[in-house]
Structure 1
Amino acid sequence: MDVEFKASLPKKEEFIGLHRTTGWNAKGLYTDDQLFKAITNSWYAVSVYLNDELIAFGRIISDGIYQTLICDVMVHPLYQKHGFGKRVVENLLEKCRVENIKWVQLFSARGKQDFYKKVGFEERDIEAPGMSIFL
């Protein structure tokens, strides 16, 4: 098995193919061009290839100092539960350590909280909940 982690963005077609396996855009809120443009605005990204096929991806949005958000961690369903997601998150966190970023946040997909807890994340305190608005 020839696995390669690259600190770079995948090609648009590769990313869109992987993204479609997540079902995150099931309502069609974003076009393929918008989704790809979003990742090109990332502060840091990691792409995982198995035999030259994109099988996992993750990225960071950050100001490079203290506001840091891990986004779009995804692993193709055929390769889930093989440690690739964990390695993507570890790679993203290592980049933060190298850049001396202390506070890293993320939004978890439904049912994935335990995965993130295993790599050290904690749920926000009930007295300081995360909030969002959908426009």
Structure 2
Amino acid sequence: MTVFSFCECLWGDRLVGYVEVVSNGVTDAYIQDLMVHPEMQNQGFGTQMMSMVIKEIRERNIYMLSVIYGEEKLKEYYERFGFFSMLCGQMQLRDEE
């Protein structure tokens, strides 16, 4: 997987947010990061960036775009874009002892 799409949001010359998507370039893509500076949240920056990234993924005919969110409140945010919960689990490799 490599960085497939990157969208940044600038306010003047200040970076206030970005979204990064990684993909194999053929079938799957994954939103690795969506960040908006806390002072700039709830002003539509994240929504604009998400809309642009989703449009790009669809234009490239990528089969599946997924995201893993860390806070329950973000579930509703992603659902607004058409994401839905899947029956799957996330696992992480333990550090070597």
TM-score normalised by L of structure 1: 0.64
Structure 1 runs (4+) greater than 2 angstroms displaced: none
1:47 and 2:8 matched: yes
Name the structure 2 match of 1:7: none
Partner of 1:12: none
SS in 1 for 2:3: coil
5 Å matches for 1:25-44? 41-44=2-5
In the alignment, the residues of structure 2 paired with residue 116 and residue 108 of structure 1 have an alpha-carbon distance, to the nearest angstrom, of 9
**Structure 2 residue aligned with 1:132, among 88, 91, 95?**
91
Contiguous gaps of at least 5 residues in structure 2: none
Q: Does 1:113 find its partner at 2:75?
A: yes
How many angstroms apart in 2 are the aligned matches of 1:134 and 1:85? 30
- Identity across matched positions, percent: 23
SS at match of 1:64: coil
Higher helix share: 1
Q: 1:88 Cα shift?
A: 1.2
Residue from 22, 27, 33 that aligns with 1:66? 27
| Partner amino acid, structure 1, of 2:74 | K
Question: Which structure 1 residue ranges, 5 or more long, are not aligned?
Answer: 1-40
The amino acid that maps onto 1:58 is V
Whole-angstrom CA distance in 1 between matches of 2:61 and 2:52: 14
Give 1 or 2: higher strand fraction: 2
**What is the total number of aligned residue pairs between the two structures?**
92
**How large is the Cα RMSD of the aligned pairs?**
1.3
Residue 76 of structure 1, aligned match among 37, 41, 47: 37
- The aligned counterpart of 2:51 is 90
TM-score, normalised to structure 2, is 0.87
Indicate if the aligned counterparts of 2:28 and 2:63 stay in contact, CA closer than 8 A: no
CA distance in structure 2 between the aligned counterparts of 1:67 and 1:103, rounded to whole angstroms: 5
Counterpart-to-counterpart distance in 1, 2:77 and 2:49? 12
